[in-house]
Amino acid sequence: MDYKKKPLPPVVGKAGFGLLGIGLVLMILAFAVNTQRAFFDYLWMYMFLVSIGVGSLALVALEYLVGATWSTPFRRISEFLASIIPVLAILVIPLFFGMHDLFHWTHPETLQNDPLLQSKASYLNVNFFIVRVAIIFVIWLAFYFLFIRNSQKQDVTKDPALTRQSIKLSAIFAILFIVTISVTAIDWMMSLEYHWYSTMFGVYYFAGTLYVSFAVAAFFAVKLNENGYLSERLSNNHYYSFGAFMFAFNIFWAYIAFSQYMLIWYADIPEETFWIIMRMKGSWAYFSIGLVFVHFIIPFLILLPRSSKVRPGLLTKMAVWFVLAHFYDLYWLIMPTYFKDGFVFGWSELGFMMFAIGLIITVFRIRAAKTNLVPVGDPKLESGLNFHLN
Amino acid sequence: MVSIMIKKLINFVKEYDSKDDREPRSKKLFGLAALYNTPNEIITAAADVAGKGYEKFDVYTPYPMHGMDDAMGMKSSKVGYVSFALGLTGMCLALLMIWWMSSVNYQNIIGGKPFFSLPPAIPITFEGTVLLTGIATVFGMLILFNQLPKINSPLNDTDFMKRVSSDKFGVVIKADDEKFSDSEVRKLFLSGGAFEIQEIYYRETNLGIKTPIFDGKFISIIFATAILTAIITYITLNIVLYDVVPFDWMWKQAKINSQSKSDFFPNKAGMREPVNGTVARGFLPYEYKGMPDSSVKLLSNPLAVSRKVLERGQERFNIYCSPCHGYFGEGDGRMKDQFPKPPSLHNQKVLNWSDGNIYHVITNGQNVMPSYAEQVSVDDRWAIIHYIRTLQRSKNASDEDLTKAK
Count up the domains in chain B and report the number.
3
Quick one: B155 and B188 in the same domain?
yes
Task: Provide the number of CB pairs (under 8 Å) joining chain A to chain B.
Answer: 26
**A128 and chain B in contact, CB less than 8 A:** no
B341 has pLDDT over 70: yes
Is residue B242 included in any domain, yes or no? yes
Q: Nearest Cα to B170, choosing from B31, B366, B371, B368?
A: B31
- Residue B371's pLDDT is 87
Q: Is the pLDDT of residue A145 over 90?
A: yes
Q: What is the pLDDT of residue B241?
A: 87
Taking only the tens place, the pLDDT of each residue in A122-137 is: 999 999 999 999 999 9
Q: What is the pLDDT of residue B243?
A: 84
Q: Among residues 39-78 of chain A, which lie with CB inside 8 Å of chain B?
A: none
Least CB-CB distance to A388: which of B66, B111, B123? B66
What count of other Cβ atoms lies within 10 Å of the Cβ of residue A273? 15
Judge whether B252 is closer than 8 Å to chain A, CB to CB: no
Q: Are residues B203 and B223 in the same domain?
A: no
What's residue B265's pLDDT?
Answer: 83
Look at residue A365 in the predicted model and tell me its pLDDT: 93
Q: What pLDDT, on a 0 to 100 scale, did the predictor assign at position B79?
A: 86
Is B70 an interface residue toward A (CB < 8 Å)? yes
CA distance A147 to A149: 6
| B240 shares its domain with B152 | no
Which DSSP helix (H) or strand (E) runs through B30?
A: strand B25-36
Report residue B210's pLDDT band, with 50, 70 and 90 as the boundaries: low
Name the 3-class secondary structure at B224: helix
Share the mean pLDDT of chain A: 93
A262 touches chain B (CB under 8 A): yes
Query: Between residues A330 and B252, which one has the greater pLDDT?
Result: A330
Average pLDDT of span A203-215: 96
Q: Residue B283 domain-assigned?
A: no
Same domain, B307 and B262: no
- Whether pLDDT at B292 is above 70: no
Mark whether B147 and B72 lie in a shared domain: yes
Q: Does A339 or B9 have the greater pLDDT score? A: A339
State what percent of residues in chain B have pLDDT above 90.
25
Q: CA-nearest residue of chain A to B113? A: A266
A192 pLDDT exceeds 60? yes
pLDDT band at B18 (very low <50, low <70, confident <90, very high): low
| Burial class of B345 by CB neighbour count within 10 A (0 to 12, 13 to 18, 19+) | buried
Per-residue pLDDT tens over the stretch B116-153:
999 999 999 999 999 999 999 999 888 887 777 766 78
Contacts of B260 (CB under 8 A, 6+ apart): B270
> DSSP states of B353-393 as a string?
S-HHHHHHHHHH-BTTBPP-TTTS-HHHHHHHHHHHHHHHH
Residue B71 has a pLDDT of: 87
- Residue A56 CA to residue A77 CA, distance in Å, equals 9
How many Cβ atoms sit within 10 Å of the Cβ of residue A160? 13
What contacts B212, CB < 8 A, 6 or more positions away?
Answer: B150, B151, B152, B218
Containing B307, the helix (H) or strand (E) segment is helix B307-316
Q: Does B122 touch chain A (CB under 8 A)?
A: yes
Q: Using pLDDT thresholds of 50, 70 and 90, give the confidence band for residue A167.
A: very high
Q: Which residues contact B154 (CB under 8 A, 6 or more apart)?
A: B30, B200, B201, B202, B203, B206
Tell me the pLDDT band of B270, cut-offs 50, 70 and 90. Answer: confident
**Cα–Cα–Cα angle for A343, A349, A352, nearest 5°?**
150
Is residue B294 predicted with pLDDT exceeding 90? no
Each residue's pLDDT tens digit, A83-138: 999 999 999 999 999 999 999 999 999 889 999 999 999 999 999 999 999 999 99
* B114 Cβ under 8 Å from any chain A Cβ: no
- pLDDT score for B17: 64
Q: What is the mean pLDDT of residues B245-266?
A: 83
Whether residue B13 is contained in a domain is answered as no
For residues A320-341, give the mean pLDDT. 95
Give the integer Cα–Cα distance in Å for A155 and A89: 27
Task: Collect all residues of chain A within an 8 Å Cβ-Cβ radius of residue B111.
Answer: 266, 268
Pairing of β B196-203 and β B169-174 = unpaired
Candidates A261, A268, A305; nearest CB to B80:
A305
Residues B195, B322, single domain; the answer is no
Q: A229 to each of A376, A377, B113, how far by Cα in Å?
A: 13, 17, 58
Cα–Cα dist A358/A361, whole Å: 5
CATH number of the domain residue B314 falls in: 1.10.760.10
pLDDT over threshold 70, residue B99:
yes
Name the residue facing A258 among B70, B76, B122 (closest C-beta). B122
For residue A40, is pLDDT > 60?
Answer: yes
The full 3-state SS of B249-299, as one line of letters, equals CCCCCCCCCCCCECCCCCCCECCCCCCCCCCCCCCCCCCCCCCCHHHHCCC
- Chain B nearest CA to A166, separation (Å): 29
Percent of chain A whose predicted confidence (pLDDT) is above 70: 100
Look at B76 and A306 and tell me if their CB atoms are within 8 Å: yes
Pseudo-torsion of CA B183, B187, B189, B193, nearest 10°? 150
Asked if residue B207 has pLDDT above 80, the reply is no
The answer to the question of residue B278 being in a domain is no
ipTM above 0.85, yes or no: no
Same domain, B177 and B297: no
SS3 annotation, chain A: CCCCCCCCCHHHHHHHHHHHHHHHHHHHHHHHHCHHHHHHHHHHHHHHHHHHHHHHHHHHHHHHHHCCCCCHHHHHHHHHHHCHHHHHHHHHHHHHHCHHHHCHHHCHHHHHHCHHHHHHCCCCCHHHHHHHHHHHHHHHHHHHHHHHHHHHHHHHHCCHHHHHHHHHHHHHHHHHHHHHHHHHHHHHCHHHHCCCCCCCHHHHHHHHHHHHHHHHHHHHHHHHHHCCCCCCCCCHHHHHHHHHHHHHHHHHHHHHHHHHHHHHHHHCCHHHHHHHHHCCCCCHHHHHHHHHHHHHHHHHHHHCCHHHHCCHHHHHHHHHHHHHHHHHHHHHHHHHHCCCCCCCCCHHHHHHHHHHHHHHHHHHHHHHHHCCCCCCCCCCHHHHHCCCCC
pLDDT higher at B21 or B352:
B352
Shared domain for B362 and B327, answered yes or no, is yes
Q: Give the C-alpha separation, B214 to B231, whole Å.
A: 25
Q: Which residues of B touch A390 (CB under 8 A)?
A: 66-70
User: Looking at the complex, does the CB of residue B67 fall below 8 Å from at least one CB of chain A?
Assistant: yes
What's the pLDDT at B399?
A: 80
Has residue B206 been placed in a domain? yes
Burial class, B139, CB count within 10 angstroms (exposed 0-12 / middle 13-18 / buried 19+): middle
pLDDT tens, residue by residue, A247-291:
999 999 999 999 999 999 998 899 899 999 999 999 999 999 999
Report residue B59: phi and psi, to 5°.
-115, 140
Confirm or reject contact between B370 and chain A (CB < 8 A): no
Here the contacts of B275-281 (C-beta below 8 Å, separation 24 or greater) are B281/B377
Kindly report the backbone phi and psi dihedral angles of residue A112, in degrees, each rounded to the nearest multiple of 5, phi listed first: -65, -35
Judged by CB atoms closer than 8 Å, whether chains meet at A304 and B84 is answered as: yes
Contact A266 B111 (CB under 8 A): yes
**Residue B181, pLDDT above cutoff 90:** no
* Predicted pLDDT at A347: 93
Q: Indicate the domain borders of chain A.
A: 10-370
Asked whether the beta carbons of residue B120 and residue A266 sit closer than 8 angstroms, the reply is yes
Facing A388 at nearest CB: one of B67, B113, B119: B67
Say whether pLDDT at B209 is over 70. no
Judged by average pLDDT, the poorest of A318-332, A345-359, B189-203 is B189-203
Confidence of residue A356 (pLDDT cuts 50, 70, 90): very high
CA distance A149 to A158: 13
Looking at residue B212, its pLDDT comes to 61
Same domain? B250 vs B302 = no
CA of B192 vs chain A CAs: smallest distance (Å): 23
Q: Is B109 on the interface with A (CB under 8 A)?
A: no
Domain containing B321 equals: 293-405
All residues at 6 or more sequence positions from B114 whose CB lies less than 8 Å from its CB, including other chains: B103
Residue B16: its pLDDT value, please? 67
Same domain, B175 and B231: no
Q: How confident is the model at residue B154 (pLDDT cuts 50, 70, 90)?
A: confident
Q: Report pLDDT for B263.
A: 85
Over the stretch A168-184, which tens digit does the pLDDT of each residue have?
A: 999 999 999 999 999 99
Q: Tell me whether residue B379 is in a domain.
A: yes
The last residue of one of the domains, among B163, B178, B210, is: B210
